[in-house]
Amino acid sequence: MSFHYKHRVYFPKLTFLLIITWVFVSCNVGKQKENVETFRTKLENIQESGVLKVAVDNNSTDYFVYRGKPMGFKYDLLQELAKDLGVKPEFIVCENLYESFDGLINDEFDLIAKNLTITKRLGKKIDFTIPIAQTNQVLVQRLIQPEKSDSGFVYSTLELAGKKVFVQKESHYQQRLMNLSKEIGGQIEVVEDSVLDAEKLIELVAKGEIDYTVCDEHVARINKTYYSNLDVSLKVSFPQNIAWAVKIESEGWEEYINNWISEFKKTNKYKYLYHKYFVSQWSAYRLKSGFHSINGGNLSVYDTIVKRFSNKYNWDWRLISSIIYQESRFNHRADSWVGAYGLMQIMPNTAKSLGVKNYKDTKQNIEGGILMLNWLNKRFSETIPDSAQRIRFVLASYNIGLGHVLDAQRLADKYGKDRHTWDDNVDYFLLNKSKKKFYKDSVVHYGYCQGEQAYNYVNKIITNYNHYLNVFSE
């Protein structure tokens, strides 16, 4: 009897414990599976969309436009990352860190590619990638002025007590100065600016409008080459890790980026890019140029003329500039083997039909190109009301001729696509119009063409136009 009693009592307890353990493990496995699916979906969403949305700073080293060409250390790194992912990068300039973090949380961005110092405080809002680089923070101030007995020059961090230092709001510079106040036993008056970024504050120091700011050493040294009256020698931090950021609980996506960063940093391409933007004398040369977007520079020497005719015919001057860059790289004497000439590569017969008397004259060449765009735009205006789509039809026609684009529309119609939508519809048929299947089709009136050229032409102009929108005002 006693054996039976013990057996009766023990067996249910064991069973209960086994059931509880099984439920707990099953729930955990279920959660892990659910999380893996979520992470995988994030990465797959980026790849399926074909676009990597990245928040960046517009500054002298990371992302800018020089002589019409988008450039920068982060720009080039992100091009390589996007290539590895098999997608196109979309750059969104977002100077405000609050907005950058909110955009990441709300899935407006997939990645923040800025110089973020890894801190516990920021780690509550975002997940950091592995370090992309290391840097020190330095004090930016004006050089000693011999004619002034008290120039306010700071020789050591101890002398910062009681000083007013301006920094970008919500930045790691602000947190470092707060900690430094405790270390030196004296209060530093930290003024956070919600509008200006580090480089804009450096400019204010150089102009004498403020006395001090703090930024990363490599940024300070590049800017010192432009503002010769600055001193950036005083370090206010130990070396710190700089990283990018992804949304919290994106381990799958984060793991992918971390693996890519780890491997890419070992390559010669990474070393070359770092040297190009932070070591080479050309960095300073570009920054001093009148064609660097950071210093309010021009896209080209023709900006004034382009703006005048763009305004006259109601076009965005940055779009016209993007067309000119693609057509001639701003060479007003560019001459193609087919007879096209000048900034807008006008053909003699086209110029004549538009009433342009001297298409080799720079002003008339620009106006003639815009008149041609007007004529094409009018042809599509009634059937394609969406201006973003219509401009793609106009650009393709400008490059390869209206007839071939109309052929591509007819092919789209025949094969069940939308003849009034460029992306993933008409563009496909123009791209493939060099194939016999399509150029021999009965609906085609203008025969064979190398549609890939026009397809790439449209994409390149729109891509550069978006970069120009990022860094050049109206």
Catalytic residues: 327
CA of residue 233 relative to chain centroid, distance? 30
Who contacts 337 (Cβ-Cβ below 8 Å, separation ≥6)? none
In SS3 terms, the chain reads as CHHHHHHHHHHHHHHHHHHHHHHHHHHHHHHHHHHHHHHHHHHHHHHHHCEEEEEECCECCCEEEECCEEECHHHHHHHHHHHHHCCEEEEEECCCHHHHHHHHHCCCCCEEEEEEECCHHHHCCCEECCCCEEECEEEEEECCCCCCCCCCCCCCHHHHCCCEEEEECCCHHHHHHHHHHHHHCCCCEEEEECCCCHHHHHHHHHHCCCCCEEEEHHHHHHHHCCCCCEECCCECCCCEEEEEEECCCCHHHHHHHHHHHHHHCCCHHHHHHHHHHHCCHHHHHHHHCCCEHHHCCCCCCCHHHHHHHHHHCCCCHHHHHHHHHHHHCCCCCCECCCCCECCCCECHHHHHHCCCCCCCCHHHHHHHHHHHHHHHHHHHHCCCCCHHHHHHHHHHHHHHCHHHHHHHHHHHHHCCCCCCCHHHHHHHHHHCCCCHHHHCCCCCCCCCCCHHHHHHHHHHHHHHHHHHHHHCCC
| 375 backbone dihedrals φ, ψ, rounded to 5° | -60, -45
Query: What are the Cα distances from residue 430, in Å, to 75, 442, 448, 453, 466?
Result: 30, 15, 10, 9, 23
